[in-house]
Amino acid sequence: MKRRWAGIVIVVAVIAIVAGFLWWQMSSQQPKLQLVNTTFEVEILQTEEDKIRGLSGTKSLAQNRAMLFDFEHEGTWGIWMKDMNYAIDIIWTDKDGKVIHIVKDAQPSSYPDTIFRPTAPARYVIETISGTIERTGLKMGDMITLPSGE
């Protein structure tokens, strides 16, 4: 009986080690972007369905996380707060990552009356937790380092 339990413990330990290694590998490959001197792990949205949903329905967003909308070409892409549970900062950049428009502290209560849009065409939109723009000192004209391949 003791050998059986020892075997089970060894199998569970091996599974835990492999799972931990795989998690570490995946987290170290998470795309990142740089706002001023702060690095964010980023989820990149490319499908139309993902862009429509965005952060809607999520409970929170960590300070070191961001969502990046890649619209593939420049336009005056609008962002709404449908089904949002918390306030966010919204950043629009051109194709090179230059900040061209900022909205601080966009509130869930702004939906459905407000769709936030940039004043000039943008390729990327970045959503971060409210307070990020203040915390990082990000301003118009700053360059954001986008994830490799973007």
Would the pTM of this model clear 0.95, i.e. be above it? no
pLDDT digits (tens, 9 = 90+) for 64-108: 999 999 999 999 999 999 999 999 999 999 999 999 999 999 999
- Mean pLDDT is highest, among 23-32, 52-61, 96-105, for 96-105
Confidence of residue 113 (pLDDT cuts 50, 70, 90): very high
- The strand order across the sheet containing 32-35 reads 32-35, 38-45, 65-75, 122-129, 88-93, 99-106
Counting residues of the chain whose pLDDT is more than 90, the rounded percentage is 67
User: Do 126 and 144 touch, CB atoms closer than 8 A?
Assistant: yes
- Cβ–Cβ contacts within 10 Å for residue 67, how many? 21
- What is the dihedral angle through the alpha carbons of 5, 8, 12, 15, rounded to the nearest 10 degrees? 160
Counting residues of the chain whose pLDDT is more than 70, the rounded percentage is 82
pLDDT score recorded for residue 15: 65
pLDDT score recorded for residue 25: 45
Q: How many CA atoms lie within 13 A of 90 on its CB side?
A: 23
Beta-strand relationship, 65-75 and 38-45:
parallel
